Amino acid sequence: MMKLVECIPNFSVSRERDEAAFNALVETAQAVAGCTVLDVQSDGTHNRCVFTLVGSPEGIGEAAFRLAKRAMEVIDMTKHQGAHPRMGATDVIPFVPTMDMTVEECVELSRQVAQRIWEELGIPSFLYEESATAPGRVNLAKIRKGQFEGMPEKLLEPEWAPDFGQRKIHPTAGIIAIGARMPLVAFNVNLDTDNVEIAKSIAKAIRGSSGGFRYCKAIGLLLEDRNVAQVSMNMVNYEGTPLYYAYEMIRALADRWGVRIIGTELVGLTPAKALIDCAEYYLKLENFDCHKQVMEYHLVGME
Amino acid sequence: MMKLVECIPNFSVSRERDEAAFNALVETAQAVAGCTVLDVQSDGTHNRCVFTLVGSPEGIGEAAFRLAKRAMEVIDMTKHQGAHPRMGATDVIPFVPTMDMTVEECVELSRQVAQRIWEELGIPSFLYEESATAPGRVNLAKIRKGQFEGMPEKLLEPEWAPDFGQRKIHPTAGIIAIGARMPLVAFNVNLDTDNVEIAKSIAKAIRGSSGGFRYCKAIGLLLEDRNVAQVSMNMVNYEGTPLYYAYEMIRALADRWGVRIIGTELVGLTPAKALIDCAEYYLKLENFDCHKQVMEYHLVGME
């Protein structure tokens, strides 16, 4: 059993616009024991950077706290400009379970970090996604609506008291959304038609918001370079709604129009288990224990 | 890129019959830097034990050498008895590529280790499987035929000069088979029939030896407790012959008899990629790069 947690904190600063502040964050993350920096992305137009960290729950909790402290020191939100919606110097801190960690353990970790950030730094926070304390707080876009500039007023509305802290943002660091979520798998399915209406109709049928799969978000669009209609999905919990549910349902729905699936794609990183679960389904595996039988699960964290 | 190699050395001793010698081997393996002992199996009837080691090529090469030396010191083959065929104190040392290691790199490693064992310990060896220097030396059973007692005579036959060492076994440690091979995946397919002849006929059709898939070994048998006919396979190179080749071909052949696949099973450890390749096929993934896009590949070997 190797408990690993992924953390993808977003900060309202970019290498392109403030290299010193950006570097300060990178150095802070790299200095934490039990935390490995897998990736750092920076976007000047958004004026935002995104870290991908992985490590032990203790190491990642410490890294999230130290990064929030450093971001408070080097970023002044009263002067921030950028295309991406934001409400804090540290804008959002998601914790994602990996390997033998559960999402419940990530919820607990998110609460501990939010509490420490409030007590030691005086920065308030909302808990979101799996950590949310009310249905209206699950969705990040709803929480962040109004952005940094509108937050002082929003926090005074009855339903918008922060989960940690008082009804008052930190003057320069704003407020943070902190929470646990499952890894997101970006999965697209291409159809042998250029009729985007078919893709849109299928997307509507399979997405949770309109009666489809609970953990599937979907839109239909046209890949203009290939003249191919695509169902583009975010699978936000591949254990609750496996990839093959989406694939098989799209196949069944497309069949009504005489349309076939010509290919699919995964964008970015995917947990091995999201794919292994598909192999298990299509190969009709019996009594298969991914954690015990897949060799790589024994290698991770090896000394 | 994290080069990892697995090594599964077999020794002609068991915890059940000689605990001191067995423990000496365990302690030797555990003391090597860059080598992790994943598993140790011992069988008193076979009077044999099997180590599963994983680590860097350097660490594993060192571990294989030190274990061969220790086995030479604590095992006397002139007194060995056991049900399993054997020809040496260290009987066989397979190197198996894992993660970013290739089978060619494992062949090179096997040659280095075999040379060092000859030069420093005076124990000769045959190279087998992917490391074999002649077609007649690929198969371990053919090499080991005659066993420890018959080896002095066998080595004098024209075609049986060792790859390293002279035509003479080590007096108490015998001779070793050393080589590289792909990980073996034990994959069984169950049919909705109790007619074992159908399973045997399908096994014959799909195995490489009779014209089927090159890297598939298969037999047909009856699971007596379930009254179910099974095609039982060893997939000896899942990259050359993927699991879904076997599954789809068995499905097509069974269809001729009006028989369906009711389930399958994987026995023991499987590399993630053997299953991810199946998901890639069944989901029709385009432009998928397992090493870049599967998160766990970035976690292995992480500090």
What is the distance of C-alpha A63 from the center of its chain? 17
Assess whether pLDDT exceeds 80 at residue B1: no
Kindly state the tokens that stand for A287. 């009594």
Q: Please give the pLDDT value at position B264.
A: 97
Beta-carbon separation of A287 and B276 below 8 A: no
Assess whether pLDDT exceeds 60 at residue B87: yes
Calculate how close chain B gets to A300, using CA atoms only, in Å.
Answer: 4
List the single best residue of B36, B230, B284, B290 to mutate versus A (max A Cβ within 10 A). B284
Relative to beta strand B185-191, strand B216-223 is unpaired
Residue B230 to residue B203: CA distance in whole angstroms: 9
Residue ranges of domains in chain A: 3-180, 185-298
Beta-carbon separation of B293 and A266 below 8 A: yes
Q: In chain B, what percentage of residues exceed pLDDT 70?
A: 98
Class of the B185-298 domain? Answer: alpha beta
Q: Please give the pLDDT value at position B13.
A: 97
pLDDT: which is higher, B292 or A177: A177
Nearest to A279 among B183, B275, B298 (CB): B275
Residue A202 to residue A231: CA distance in whole angstroms: 7
Mean of pLDDT values over B111-126? 98
pLDDT: which is higher, B117 or A268: B117
**Nearest-by-CA chain B residue for A299:** B300
Assess whether pLDDT exceeds 70 at residue A262: yes
Q: Please give the pLDDT value at position B300.
A: 62
**Res. B273 pLDDT band, cuts 50 70 90:** very high
Q: In chain A, what percentage of residues exceed pLDDT 70?
A: 98
Angle between helices B103-121 and B57-74 (to 10 degrees): 40
Across A178-187, B107-116, B206-215, B294-303, least confident range: B294-303
Assess whether pLDDT exceeds 60 at residue B187: yes
Q: Please give the pLDDT value at position B303.
A: 40
Q: Please give the pLDDT value at position A61.
A: 98
pLDDT in tens, A20-39: 999 999 999 999 999 999 88
Assess whether pLDDT exceeds 80 at residue B301: no
Is B84 labeled as catalytic in the residue annotation?
yes
Pair A196, A222: CB distance under 8 Å: yes
Buried b (16+ CB within 10 A) or exposed e, A271-289: bbbbbbbbbbbbbbbeebe
**Res. A1 pLDDT band, cuts 50 70 90:** low
Q: Please give the pLDDT value at position A98.
A: 85
pLDDT in tens, A90-106: 999 999 998 778 999 99
Assess whether pLDDT exceeds 60 at residue A51: yes
Assess whether pLDDT exceeds 50 at residue A7: yes
Q: What is the dihedral of CA A105, A106, A112, A117, to 10 degrees?
A: 170
- What is the complex's ipTM, to 2 decimals? 0.77
Residue A228 to residue A211: CA distance in whole angstroms: 26
Q: Which residues of A are the active-site residues? A: 84
Q: What are the chain B neighbours of A280 within 8 Å (beta carbons)?
A: 275
Q: Please give the pLDDT value at position A303.
A: 40
Q: Indicate the SS3 state at residue B127.
A: strand
Residue B13 to residue B47: CA distance in whole angstroms: 5
Calculate how close chain B gets to A61, using CA atoms only, in Å.
Answer: 17
Mean of pLDDT values over B264-292? 93
Pair A83, A45: CB distance under 8 Å: yes
Mean of pLDDT values over A288-303? 76
Q: What are the chain A neighbours of B283 within 8 Å (beta carbons)?
A: 243-244, 247, 264, 275, 278
Beta-carbon separation of B294 and A303 below 8 A: no
- Residue A273 sits at φ, ψ, to 5 deg, of -65, -30
Calculate how close chain A gets to B111, using CA atoms only, in Å.
Answer: 25
Mean of pLDDT values over A194-216? 96
Assign a CATH topology to domain A3-180. Formiminotransferase-cyclodeaminase; Chain B, domain 1 (3.30.990)
> If you average pLDDT over every residue of chain A, what do you get?
94
Q: Please give the pLDDT value at position B298.
A: 75
Pair B195, B229: CB distance under 8 Å: yes
> If you average pLDDT over every residue of chain B, what do you get?
94
